């Protein structure tokens, strides 16, 4: 704030600001003194902060705050002079004093309910300096009330956040740089006036030249002598030449102006973004105190190490990360860090360590929360997965560590056998994952038995800007966040393989399903052609898909523009933006798009990518649905029909086939009899009873070749019955031709 802004504030408001500045310093200093009571620099800093608050409270007439600050100052002075050695009990009392000062500053002395706490705290501090027992004074109930009731991790922090929503503090250096850039912008804008004047002159000269040409045409050759014509042409040539010179000069001046303007805009924008940035430490000021108090309540000793405290982070991102980081830190202390006795028994120091690290990496913000506790018992987690019916025992036994740990992010999932005020209800990690995904980030987890657990959060540096890859789909541009793109590929059509009717490509040794982005976004179909496919590989670690687009446009940083809330959630779209030429572009919501892909697959409506096939020809191909629980049989029948020009879909059992035939349009159904969930006889019966499907030709292919089996199939409504034991290519194809004709109508 400037001096002019401060002059408008009352003395009580000034005291509140001073308390907001000094109480975090006191908290940090006391936590440091708890680890090292002889730290002279911390004692000096705490003494000065208490002295400053005492003087400020005296000026504004807050007697209660004066008494608290004076008692704290006496305690620090006694410690400096060697008359008192600060122990844990002293630190508890002094932290209670910090909380009480924060409360008095917020209420400005209007809340008299805290007077008993003030009196009890002052008496306890006085008694502590006189007694100075070996184990330190045990704060009584009244004295400890400020610690529990007015902890800065609750009311004080929330009050600070309310203020931060109204005020953004900008350093004097940043403000000076912004003013300098604004001055440069003002000077640059003045260049436009003479440039516009030169364009007006150019327009006038061009208009006069056109008028002279028109006059010569109207007079005609008979009315103009040779001398007059020569003079008129000379004048026109002179004016046109002057126009060319003006135009060349204007273009020559415009090019460097464009470079200067682009550079100035970039610097101005970077400085504006920098003003929104805050050191990572600002967002985690309350965490050391929160962990310390929580550790005391759980009977655990813990130290929080913050690495990268100066890492700049967007203030909005800091606020969004507050809840996830709080959950992770509480979980680390409650579930990860062992009691001092347990740690000593396994050869660890009695004090556990929780590490909170922030750094910039590859254009993103990485935050790592780790502890040196017991880690996660994977065997217990595996049993819990089975007991909660999330997976069968044989499947759970085959799950990898990373797959097992994913279950911990499910809502309501917990390994804790007891419910406490801190944890145990299974609410936490699912909140972490949801909130991180909301800011277009990701979270990964790893653990080592006996050594601890590690969470790595990767989020954008700022919510206002996103790095994207611009692509064209159906002739329109779309932006895909780079953070969610695994690869961008150019693939030859020959690299596309078919497996069970689904198109796949191999990427880094992994099969990736192909999906056309035009179908998902309901854009116009791509033009047929035999060129390479432009494919974006997107998704998460478990589910990735290859999205086929028209072409890649290039990378671009976009300023995110939220969509009008009246639109609600727009399917597959997260926000909008403006490109460099001012045209709008939609930013894709990758998670929503992945859900759309899975719905298309489940419904059987997923279209195939056919770069070399004309769309009108594809519509004439007759469609066959093959239903069989044997992969070998499905592939054999699929290849046979496909090789002879039919468009083939497959289903893995009767239920899958029933869903597919109801949602897709087919010319022929080929089904087995013995299948799980729903057998072929039941499938045929349902098809023939449905008024919309009863005309669909049905062929049964089964190993059962008894007369009664054939009779059952035909009575259910099948039009043809073939046995797999006497199966021949020609037999199956001829039966299909008899029922629906050749592949192309």
Q: Which residues contact 650 (CB under 8 A, 6 or more apart)?
A: 500, 501, 625, 626, 627, 628, 634, 638
Examine the pLDDT at 56 and tell me if it is beyond 90.
no
C-beta of residue 460 within 8 angstroms of C-beta of residue 474: no
d(CA 449, CA 373): 9
- Model confidence band, residue 670 (pLDDT cutoffs 50, 70, 90): very high
C-beta of residue 624 within 8 angstroms of C-beta of residue 649: yes
CA 233, 239, 245, 248 torsion: positive or negative?
Answer: negative
Contacts 24+ apart (CB under 8 A), 105-108: 105/15, 105/16, 105/19, 105/20, 105/23, 105/65, 106/16, 106/155, 106/156, 106/159, 108/12, 108/15, 108/16, 108/60, 108/62
Q: Which of 492, 582, 584 is nearest to 535 (CA)?
A: 492
- Model confidence band, residue 356 (pLDDT cutoffs 50, 70, 90): very high
C-beta of residue 481 within 8 angstroms of C-beta of residue 587: yes
The DSSP code for 377 is: -
d(CA 737, CA 715): 22
Q: What are the structure tokens assigned to 72, written together?
A: 């704290």
**Residue 86: left (phi > 0), alpha (psi -120 to 50), or beta?**
beta
Q: Which of 576, 570, 572, 569 is nearest to 593 (CA)?
A: 572
pLDDT digits (tens, 9 = 90+) for 72-86: 888 888 888 888 888
Strand runs labelled E in 528-637: 533-539, 544-549, 551-559, 573-578, 584-588, 623-627
d(CA 284, CA 321): 10
Q: Which residues contact 651 (CB under 8 A, 6 or more apart)?
A: 604, 625, 626, 627, 657, 659, 660
Examine the pLDDT at 537 and tell me if it is beyond 50.
yes
Q: What integer pLDDT is reported at residue 613 of this predicted model?
A: 43
Q: Which of 659, 661, 618 is nearest to 642 (CA)?
A: 618
Q: Which of 90-94, 228-232, 368-372, 674-678 has the lowest mean pLDDT?
A: 228-232
Please compute the mean of the pLDDT values over residues 497-508 and round it to a whole number.
77
d(CA 458, CA 540): 13
- Model confidence band, residue 156 (pLDDT cutoffs 50, 70, 90): very low
Examine the pLDDT at 620 and tell me if it is beyond 70.
no
Q: What percent of the chain has pLDDT over 70?
A: 81
pLDDT digits (tens, 9 = 90+) for 213-239: 777 666 655 545 677 777 777 777 777
Q: Which of 154-168, 316-330, 597-611 has the lowest mean pLDDT?
A: 154-168
Please compute the mean of the pLDDT values over residues 693-716 and round it to a whole number.
85
Strand 476-481 to strand 584-588: parallel, antiparallel, or no bridges (unpaired)?
A: parallel
C-beta of residue 124 within 8 angstroms of C-beta of residue 143: yes
C-beta of residue 309 within 8 angstroms of C-beta of residue 318: no
The 3-state secondary structure of 183-204, one letter per residue: HHHHHHHHCHHHHHHHHHHHHH
C-beta of residue 649 within 8 angstroms of C-beta of residue 625: yes
Examine the pLDDT at 211 and tell me if it is beyond 60.
yes
| CA 347 from centroid of its chain's CA atoms | 40
Q: Which residues contact 356 (CB under 8 A, 6 or more apart)?
A: 284, 287, 304, 305, 306, 307, 325, 329, 367, 368, 369
Q: Which of 96-105, 304-313, 382-391, 434-443 has the lowest mean pLDDT?
A: 434-443
Around 481, how many Cα atoms within 13 Å sit in the side-chain half-sphere?
30
Please compute the mean of the pLDDT values over residues 555-561 and round it to a whole number.
81
DSSP 3-state helix, strand, coil percentages of the chain (rounded to 5)?
Answer: 55, 20, 25
Q: Which of 655, 663, 672, 667 is nearest to 743 (CA)?
A: 667
Q: Which residues contact 231 (CB under 8 A, 6 or more apart)?
A: none
pLDDT digits (tens, 9 = 90+) for 413-450: 776 655 454 454 444 677 888 888 777 778 888 888 88
Q: What integer pLDDT is reported at residue 148 of this predicted model?
A: 39
Residue 72 burial (10 A CB sphere; 0-12, 13-18, 19+): buried
d(CA 516, CA 618): 15
pTM, two decimals, is 0.55
Q: Which residues contact 10 (CB under 8 A, 6 or more apart)?
A: none
d(CA 275, CA 314): 9
Residue 370 burial (10 A CB sphere; 0-12, 13-18, 19+): buried
Per the model's pLDDT, the better-predicted residue between 680 and 616 turns out to be 680
C-beta of residue 439 within 8 angstroms of C-beta of residue 324: no
Q: Which of 385-389, 551-555, 679-683 has the lowest mean pLDDT?
A: 385-389
């Amino acid at each position: 704030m400037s001096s002019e802004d401060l002059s408008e504030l009352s003395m009580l408001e000034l005291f509140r600001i001073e308390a907001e500045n000094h109480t975090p310093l006191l908290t940090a200093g006391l936590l440091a003194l708890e680890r090292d009571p002889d730290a002279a620099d911390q004692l000096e800093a705490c003494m000065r902060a208490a002295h400053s608050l005492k003087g400020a409270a005296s000026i504004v007439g807050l007697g209660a705050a004066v008494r608290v600050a004076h008692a704290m100052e006496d305690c620090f002075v006694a410690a400096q002079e060697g008359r008192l050695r600060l122990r844990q009990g002293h630190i508890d009392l002094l932290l209670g004093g910090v909380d009480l000062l924060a409360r008095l500053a917020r209420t400005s002395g209007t809340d008299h309910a805290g007077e008993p706490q003030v009196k009890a705290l002052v008496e306890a501090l006085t008694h502590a300096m006189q007694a100075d027992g070996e184990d330190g004074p045990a704060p009584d109930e009244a004295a400890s009330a400020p610690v529990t009731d007015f902890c800065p991790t609750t009311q004080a922090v929330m009050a600070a956040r309310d203020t931060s929503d109204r005020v953004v503090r900008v350093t004097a250096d940043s403000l000076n740089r912004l003013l300098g850039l604004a001055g440069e912008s003002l000077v640059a804008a003045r260049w436009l006036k003479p440039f516009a004047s030169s364009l007006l002159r150019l327009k006038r000269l061009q208009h006069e030249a056109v008028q002279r040409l028109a006059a010569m045409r109207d007079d005609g050759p008979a009315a103009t002598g040779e001398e007059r014509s020569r003079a008129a042409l000379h004048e026109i040539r002179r004016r046109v030449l002057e126009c060319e010179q003006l135009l060349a000069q204007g273009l020559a001046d415009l090019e460097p102006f464009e470079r200067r303007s682009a550079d100035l805009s970039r610097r101005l924008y970077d400085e504006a973004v920098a003003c929104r940035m805050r050191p990572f430490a600002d967002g985690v000021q309350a965490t050391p105190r929160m962990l310390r108090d929580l550790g005391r309540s759980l009977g655990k000793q813990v130290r929080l190490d913050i690495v990268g405290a100066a890492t700049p982070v967007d203030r909005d991102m800091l606020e969004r990360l507050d809840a996830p980081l709080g959950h992770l830190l509480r979980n680390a202390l409650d579930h990860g860090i062992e009691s001092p006795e347990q740690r000593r028994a396994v050869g660890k120091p009695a004090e556990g360590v929780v590490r909170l690290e922030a750094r910039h990496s590859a254009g993103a913000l990485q935050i790592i929360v780790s502890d040196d506790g017991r880690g996660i018992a994977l065997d217990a987690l595996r049993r819990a997965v089975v007991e909660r019916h999330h997976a069968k025992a044989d499947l759970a036994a085959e799950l990898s560590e990373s797959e097992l740990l994913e279950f911990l992010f499910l809502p309501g999932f917990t390994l804790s056998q007891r419910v406490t005020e801190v944890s145990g209800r299974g609410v936490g990690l699912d909140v972490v994952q949801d909130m991180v995904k909301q800011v277009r980030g990701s979270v990964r987890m790893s653990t080592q038995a006996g050594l601890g657990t590690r969470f790595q959060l990767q989020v954008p540096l700022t919510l206002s800007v996103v790095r994207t890859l611009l692509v064209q789909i159906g002739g329109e541009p779309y932006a895909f966040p780079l953070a969610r793109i695994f690869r961008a590929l150019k693939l030859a059509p020959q690299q596309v393989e078919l497996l069970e009717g689904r198109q796949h490509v191999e990427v880094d040794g992994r099969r990736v399903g192909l999906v056309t982005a035009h179908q998902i976004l309901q854009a116009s179909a791509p033009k047929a052609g035999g060129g390479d496919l432009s494919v974006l590989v997107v998704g998460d670690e478990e589910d990735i898909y290859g999205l086929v687009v028209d072409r890649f446009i290039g990378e671009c940083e976009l300023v995110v523009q939220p969509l009008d809330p009246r639109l609600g959630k727009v399917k597959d779209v997260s926000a909008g933006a403006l490109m460099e030429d001012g045209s709008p572009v939609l930013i894709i919501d990758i998670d929503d798009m992945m859900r759309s892909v899975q719905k298309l697959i489940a419904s059987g409506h997923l279209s195939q990518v056919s770069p070399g096939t004309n769309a009108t020809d594809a519509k004439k191909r007759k469609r066959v649905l093959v239903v069989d629980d044997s992969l070998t049989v499905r592939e054999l029948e699929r290849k046979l029909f496909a090789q002879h020009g039919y468009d083939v879909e497959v289903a893995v059992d009767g239920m899958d086939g029933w869903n597919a035939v109801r949602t897709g349009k087919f010319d022929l159904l080929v089904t087995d009899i013995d299948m799980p969930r729903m057998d072929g006889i039941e499938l045929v019966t349902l098809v023939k009873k449905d008024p919309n499907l009863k005309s669909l030709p049905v062929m049964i292919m089964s190993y059962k070749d008894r007369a009664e089996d054939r009779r059952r199939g035909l009575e259910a409504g099948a039009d043809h019955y073939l046995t797999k034991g006497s199966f021949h290519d020609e037999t199956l194809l001829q039966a299909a031709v008899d029922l629906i004709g050749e592949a192309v109508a």
